[in-house]
A and B are shown apart, each in its own frame.
Chain A
Amino acid sequence: MAVHEAAAYPSGILRLFLPVGVLLVLALAVAVPGLLTAADPLAADPLNALAPPGGGHWFGTDHLGRDVLARVVHGARHSISIGVAATVLAVTSGVLLGLAAGLSPKWLDEALARSFDVLSTLPELLLALLIVAITGPGTGNVIFAIAVAQIPNYARVIRAQTFVVRRSGYVEQAVTFGRSRTAITAGHVLPNVLGPIPVLATIGLGQAVIASSGLSFLGMGPQPPAAEWGAMLSEARNYLRVAWWEAVFPGIAITLTVACLTVVGRRLQRRIEGRT
């Protein structure tokens, strides 16, 4: 006779394999888009404009008659490489600044921490717009703008983590073993501070992809006719009444990318947390 019923939980394997598989396909699209589609993403065919999905064009064609599937596949290169480049730049600078703050004397730490505060008073998108206003639109500038906007997030986490590790029991224990400050920093502090970075970077990459598509949507990113998901959506919104496919497929591409990155990041996080 059951007074309470147990709730069973599904295994996480399916939930991990699926997003990893999607990410592998995306990586393939970035590396060799020709494997996934034979069509040219830039070849216009005005006579065949706004054709619905099916037949020769699985995802239909856009207002210039370009193949939407080809543009989505080739768009991965722009959208994802902007995200990756921005994330790499942001993580590297953020980690260095965060470590500098966490390991420095108090006054320097305070100064750095306040400068992170100032940077984050500006919403990411506004800061990026300010930078683009100064530098002008273009892929490189968008990367720089997104990276600068994300630096404080990483720097803060790393700074906080550095404090936690420096005050940890194992660092204190290492002091009692007579190990030098340098040895402790290299042997315990750095590895444990840097541990969460893969997780942060994975989730952050997703957010960078969203940010870059937002800037492209506003016309700040790669300029037409380049295929970029955000820019494709921006063009597509003028044809929403007649051609839903021109907006839906790049939209799904962004969402799927970000969702998979987020899921993988959280799984990684749970594994790391489960370990410690």
Chain B
Amino acid sequence: MMTTTHDEPAPTPGAGEPAPTPRAGDPGNDLSVRGGDSRAGGSGDLAAPLAAVADLRVSFGGREVVRGVSLSIAPGECVAIVGESGSGKSVTARSLLGLAGPGSTVRAARFTLSGQDALGFGPREWRSLRGRFAGLVLQDALVSLDPLRTVGAEIAEVLAVHDVVPRAWRMSRVLELLESVGVPEPELRAGQRPHELSGGLRQRALIASAIAAEPELIIADEPTTALDVTVQAQVLRLLAERRAAGTALLLISHDLAVVASIADRILVMREGRIVEEGPAGDVLTAPAHDYTRGLLAAVPSAASRGTRLTTATPRTRPAPNPSAQVLAGTGLGHSYGPRRVVDGVSFTLHEGETLGVVGESGSGKTTLARLALGLLEPGSGRVALHQRLWSHLPERARRPLRHRIQLISQNPLDSFDPRHTVGRLVAEPLRLPRGQRRERVLDLLDRVGLPPETAARHPRELSGGQRQRVAIARALGPRPDVLVCDEPVSALDVSIQAQVLDLLADLQAEYGTAMLFISHDLGVVHHVADRVLVMKDGRVVEEGGVEDVFTRPRHPYTRALVAAVPRMPVA
């Protein structure tokens, strides 16, 4: 046996939790056959598990992505699976609905769902379970709900498939469901399509469709990942409410902090295996496995300031030079049509300093970055680079100065010409005679921790973290005074994110580069920034030293933002 097996009975729900009672009013639920099945659990169980899987293996073609996972979920329990991309967490969760994906082969030593042996299930049995026994909530309702249909029709579909309520009551049931997940004006919203709703509302609608047939289990796969932090907090609260009402929850996330507040038990997955499992408090505060420990240490936060994330050792860096202003914006404004996306924003950035910009989507962060880079002419106000006018210059005059301010964006692949090798990409911004370029390219690759062979490769063959290193090498090439980093680590797994943040910090310490660091992630900004601007609807609502702003926020919006950040229990 190459994996951990879990033969002990399913843990009882978290301490102090009342044993959930089957809800009244679901007659004819032939799926919830409880008890009486000797295979379903050991003796002494309070309740048979909703789902019990032993030695689950899922492969695509010859590639095994889930390698012997065992898990059980008791009624009313919240189990979280945490892992980085490629860990197999999503496939594991979807297997519970028989939806591992096209071309998959699923094997298990035991596969019991709601007291039934799922190993012999045909398509009909699977379908009768889907939506009824377990509802699925995916990442982004904009694409997880049919974008061409109204959310009302989507919810009604669940009711129709499982014949939950008589046809004539279906629509009033849809409205009740929307109301129960906190969607205001349900009559109006039911007739709208996902793109007409805000991110939070459509995620609620997605949850409404998942719970429409009153399943005993909600499987939520990264349910808050695409959401702003304040909306994430609302959706997590909603899931917690469902759980309090007795529905079990299987939560899949890459983010330990997200699951910390809600999970009873946490399973940490890596490369298709469970490396650690236990009550949430234990896993988060006293992790037993190195991988879990590394994962926890890699999360940037207030506590990680001044340390290297990858090694958890202190790091020193020269203090910013407050007398040498390198970049400044004064009263910047910009509109797209009638919408004012940046409105009266001023900032200054000094040599060796990191200025964080936080805000939710639509707050104008990226437009601010483009204004700073001189890619966009401000409608009002001005930008100065080294105390000289930088905006409103003719492009011809700006071009020779452009190397002084460079960009690192969220998705490096977009910023690479798809035909070019890494070497050619890194060489592009260099203004050196041909003979000296290669040496400089190899030197730059070395500085960002990439071997020289990388120069001959194409970025699409590289991992996300390696690509971001290439982007950094490219931006460093012209020896800029200012780096504009627009969500540079948002697309990366937490361990890779830690490496990239450490790299940026090292390079800043070495070269004294100033950074305009834009992120939606308060933890990241708290970790890297000296000062911070908080943006909302194109305006700066609060600004100051990062400790001041995040520990003693003055503006109500900042307070809401800080309060919404999911917190880890302190060890």
Contact = CB atoms under 8 A, between A and B. Distances in A.
- A–B in direct contact per CB < 8 Å: yes
Interface in A195-213: 195
Contacts of B409: 169, 173
Interface in B402-424: 402-403, 405-407, 409, 411, 414-419
A121 interface: no
Contacts of B398: 178
A11 to B, nearest CB: 13
Interface stretch (B11-19, B103-111, B526-534): B103-111
B75 interface: no
13 contacts: A1-B107, A2-B106, A3-B108, A4-B98, A4-B103, A168-B414, A172-B375, A177-B428, A178-B399, A178-B401, A178-B429, A188-B417, A275-B458
B419 A195 contact: yes
B108 A1 contact: yes
A269 interface: no
Contacts of A7: 102-103
Contacts of B458: 275
A169 B415 CA distance: 4
Nearest to A8: B61
Given A4-B104, A192-B418, A174 B428 contact: yes
B373 A2 contact: no
Contact of B429 (A177, A191, A275, A276): A177
A173 B107 contact: no
A176 B373 contact: yes
Contacts of A174: 428
A205 to B, nearest CB: 24
Given A4-B100, A178-B401, A275 B460 contact: yes
A177 B60 contact: no
B425 to A, nearest CB: 9
Nearest to B122: A3
Interface in B159-173: none
A48 to B, nearest CB: 58
Contact of A192 (B98, B104, B417): B417
Given A170-B416, A195-B419, A276-B418, A176 B402 contact: yes
Given A3-B111, A4-B104, 5 more contacts: A2-B107, A3-B119, A168-B414, A177-B403, A275-B458
Contacts of A3: 95, 98, 100, 105-108, 111, 118-119, 121
B375 A178 contact: no
A64 interface: no
Interface string B366-380: 000000010100000
Contacts of A177: 402-403, 406, 428-429, 478
A276 B460 contact: yes
Contacts of B415: 169-170, 172-173
4 interchain residue pairs of minimum CB distance? A178-B402, A169-B414, A177-B429, A3-B106
A6 interface: yes
B420 to A, nearest CB: 9
Contacts of B395: 181
Contacts of A252: none
Nearest to B410: A169
Contacts of B318: none
Nearest to B106: A3
A228 to B, nearest CB: 40
A6 B399 contact: no
A99 to B, nearest CB: 18
B61 A4 contact: no
Contact of A5 (B105, B406, B460): B105
B400 interface: yes
Nearest to B109: A1
A275 B104 CA distance: 25
Interface in B179-228: none
A168 B401 CA distance: 22
Nearest to A176: B407
Interface string B312-356: 000000000000000000000000000000000000000000000
Contact of B399 (A180, A191, A275): A180
Given A2-B106, A3-B107, A178 B417 contact: no
Contacts of A22: none
A275 B400 CA distance: 34
Contacts of A188: 417
A172 B79 CA distance: 45
Contacts of B102: 7
A175 B375 contact: yes
A188 B429 CA distance: 13
Contacts of B100: 3-4
B419 A192 contact: yes
Contacts of B373: 176
A4 B405 CA distance: 53
Contacts of B429: 177-178
B134 to A, nearest CB: 16
Interface in A210-253: none
Contacts of A176: 373, 375, 402, 405-407
Contact of B119 (A1, A180, A192): A1
A152 to B, nearest CB: 27
A197 to B, nearest CB: 14
Nearest to A2: B105
Q: Which of B416, B419, B474 has the most CB of A within 10 A?
A: B419
A157 B571 CA distance: 59
A105 B200 CA distance: 41
A170 B470 CA distance: 13
B419 A6 contact: no
Contacts of B399: 178-180
Given A169-B409, A275-B460, A4 B418 contact: no
A178 B475 CA distance: 12
Nearest to B119: A1
Contacts of B416: 169-170
B476 to A, nearest CB: 12
A6 B58 CA distance: 11
A6 B108 CA distance: 16
Contacts of A169: 409, 411, 414-416
A8 B63 CA distance: 13
A113 B373 CA distance: 33
Contacts of B403: 177-178
Contacts of B414: 168-170
Interface in A137-190: 168-170, 172-181, 187-188
Among A177, A188, A192, residue most surrounded by chain B Cβ atoms (within 10 Å) = A177
Contacts of A191: 417, 419
Contacts of B402: 175-178
Interface in B43-70: 59-61
A8 B59 CA distance: 13
A178 B398 CA distance: 8
A187 B403 CA distance: 18
Given A172-B375, A173-B407, A178-B400, A6 B107 contact: no
